[in-house]
Amino acid sequence: MSLAHNLSASISSSSSTFLVQTNFNSRTRNVSMKAKSIGICKCIATPQELQTAYKTKVSRNANMAKLQAGYLFPEIARRRSAHLLKYPDAQVISLGIGDTTEPIPEVITAAMAKRSHALSTLEGYSGYGAEQGEKLLRSAIASTYYGNLDIEEDDIFVSDGAKCDISRLQVVFGSNVTMAVQDPSYPAYVDSSVIMGQTGLFQKDVEKFGNIEYMRCTPENGFFPDLSTVSRTDVIFFCSPNNPTGAAATRSQLTKLVQFAKDNGSIIVYDSAYAMYMSDDNPRSIFEIPGAKEVAIETSSFSKYAGFTGVRLGWTVVPKQLLFSDGFPVAKDFNRIVSTCFNGASNISQAGGLACLSQEGLKAMQEVVGFYKENTDIIVETFDSLGFKVYGGRNAPYVWVHFPGQSSWDVFSEILEKTHVVTTPGSGFGPGGEGFVRVSAFGHRENILEACRRFKELYK
């Protein structure tokens, strides 16, 4: 292919379609675009300052302007890229973002391939599905994860992942609710709350957004908030096993949480994305706690069980018993939002989800989870042997390492600079994460071993 062809293809396949008149049909252009040719596009691109000369008359969503820096993980990716520019030959190992690395078991991909091929046949083709998910999958989720908890098929909403459902739940709640989060916690709760306009501005001195109740979770309180000091909010986000601390709430702690929600008339959004990582005898679902159906929603995911971070499949349980103050069922509003903002999970992903829940699939998922749990043990042992205080790990694929008195971004930078290993600074999960670094156990075994060797070298 000529350079000119490549060039016009790359330009017209990028967002700069207005730059070039072309005779190629769009299908050919897309197929022929090569990652490499994007570089050529960059060279001739209009400089950033000129691109921004024209301004529309649309004012920016003021809530977006409240957000800090950028979402945590893109910021880490940015720093990783900068590091690679500085050290182009470095063997960078990423134990940061928490993305899965191991192949999806074949029993699952075979089902997806079968469904995919069937789409090329008249009999097997299907278009839009039910926004709530396929009946068979909803039923399999209900029986597999909520078998004797009285959760029914129609309480389950299948989705393209827990993160997406967190945002859709925020749309259900709207802008006039108050919110509590564990501190530290998975950033999507706070950021989606800010975007919805539920919060005040970011207060630099305390590193918190106004109008969010940060429930401090530290080694001192066993990573479970002292509820006697927590103010009432409408919604309480609670993740167990927790990302990033790896802490899992016990039955008695969750019983207190449910009672707290009931006393305050609050709704708990319980994130159980790591429930299958639980080793201890703690609840896997909030619905194991009596009375939880009247105060809780649960969101979960196949991402970390089956390597579906790219495939995309999750679910949210909204029990019929959960009502707003006017008696209207929360599930009906969630259904309305899902039907408006979402067109259902991919039918191929759902075939994969169904395979995950077959006998063979469940066994395969346990193996995937078991593999990452072995990685976790290796990381825990490493930091233990180096004399660090280490938390998490037992019930989650995250190890929470304490660097008392140090800034977590400084520790992150030092580890990256000296070992070429990407971790996650604890403060990125909230002010309560300051002084900690999260090390993810998602990695190929040789990378985990190599990273641990480098940690030992750095901290010996």
Q: Of 192 and 301, which CB lies nearer to ligand PLP in the complex structure? A: 301
Query: Please, what is the minimum distance in Å from the beta carbon of residue 449 to ligand PLP?
Result: 23
CA pair distance 411, 82, nearest whole angstrom? 17
Instruction: Determine if 426 is a binding residue for ligand PLP (CB under 6 A).
Output: no
Instruction: Give the HSE-up count for residue 382: Cα atoms under 13 Å, Cβ half-sphere.
Output: 24
Q: Is residue 66 within 8 Å of 198, Cβ to Cβ? A: no
115 vs 438 by CB, closer to ligand PLP: 438
Choosing from 145, 146, 157, 186, the residue that interacts with ligand PLP (CB under 6 A) is 186
Of 8 and 105, CB closest to ligand PLP: 105
- Choices 44-52, 162-170, 261-269, 326-334; region in contact with ligand PLP by CB under 6 A: 162-170
Please, what's the largest Cα pairwise distance for the chain? Answer: 71
Nearer to ligand PLP, 11 or 180 (CB): 180
Smallest separation, CB 309 to ligand PLP (Å)? 5
Evaluate whether 241 touches 277 at the Cβ level (below 8 Å).
Answer: yes
Q: Pick from 45, 70, 29: which is nearest to 428 by CA? A: 70
Site map for ligand PLP, 191-230, x if CB under 6 A? ----------------------------------------
Q: Judged by CB, which is closer to ligand PLP: 162, or 452?
A: 162
Residue among 405, 404, 415, 413 nearest 379 (CA) = 415
Candidates 156-164, 257-265, 320-328, 352-360; binding stretch for ligand PLP (CB under 6 A): 156-164
Could you tell me if 299 and 162 are in contact, meaning their C-beta atoms sit under 8 angstroms apart?
yes
Q: List all residues 6 or more positions away from 457 whose beta carbon is below 8 Å from its beta carbon.
A: 419
The smaller minimum CB distance to ligand PLP, of residues 164 and 351, is found at 164
From candidates 9, 33, 98, 355, binder to ligand PLP by CB under 6 A? 98
Closer Cβ to ligand PLP, 11 or 277, answer by number: 277
DSSP secondary structure code for residue 245 in this structure: T
Return the residue nearest ligand PLP (CB atom): 161
Q: What is the spatial distance between Cα 27 and Cα 9, in angstroms, rounded to a whole number?
A: 11
Among 11, 104, 162, 180, binds ligand PLP (CB under 6 A): 162
Span near ligand PLP by CB under 6 A; candidates 33-41, 157-165, 330-338, 404-412? 157-165
Measured from the CB atom, the residue of 238 and 287 that comes closer to ligand PLP is 238
Omega within 30 of 0 (cis) for the link into 244: yes
Residues 294-323 that bind ligand PLP (CB under 6 A): 301, 303, 309, 314
The one segment of 140-148, 158-166, 347-355, 404-412 that binds ligand PLP by CB under 6 A? 158-166
Q: What does the alpha-carbon distance between residue 206 and residue 210 come to, in Å, rounded to a whole number?
A: 10
Q: CB of 272: closest distance to ligand PLP in angstroms?
A: 9
The alpha carbon torsion through 451, 454, 458, 460 (nearest 10 deg) reads 100
Among candidate residues 227, 226, 269, 217, the one with its CA nearest the CA of residue 248:
217
Name residues contacting ligand PLP, limited to 229-258 (CB under 6 A).
Answer: 239, 243
Binding footprint of ligand PLP, residue count (CB under 6 A): 14
Instruction: Examine residue 273 and tell whether it contacts ligand PLP (CB under 6 A).
Output: yes
181, exposed or middle or buried, with CB in 10 Å at 0-12, 13-18, 19+? buried
Taking contact as CB under 6 A, which single stretch among the options 32-40, 112-120, 155-163, 370-378 is the one that binds ligand PLP? 155-163
Nearer to ligand PLP, 11 or 286 (CB): 286
| Parallel/antiparallel/unpaired status of strands 390-392 and 314-317 | unpaired
Angle at 240 between CA 140 and CA 341, to 5 degrees: 60
Given a contact cutoff of 8 angstroms between Cβ atoms, the answer to whether 313 and 301 are in contact is yes
Q: Which residue of 183, 213, 271, 434 would you call a contact of ligand PLP, by CB under 6 A?
A: 271
Least distance in angstroms from the C-beta of 308 to ligand PLP: 7
> What secondary structure does DSSP assign to 408-443, as a single string?
HHHHHHHHHHHH-EE-EEGGGG-GGGTTEEEEE--S
List of residues contacting ligand PLP (CB under 6 A): 98, 161-164, 186, 239, 243, 271, 273, 301, 303, 309, 314
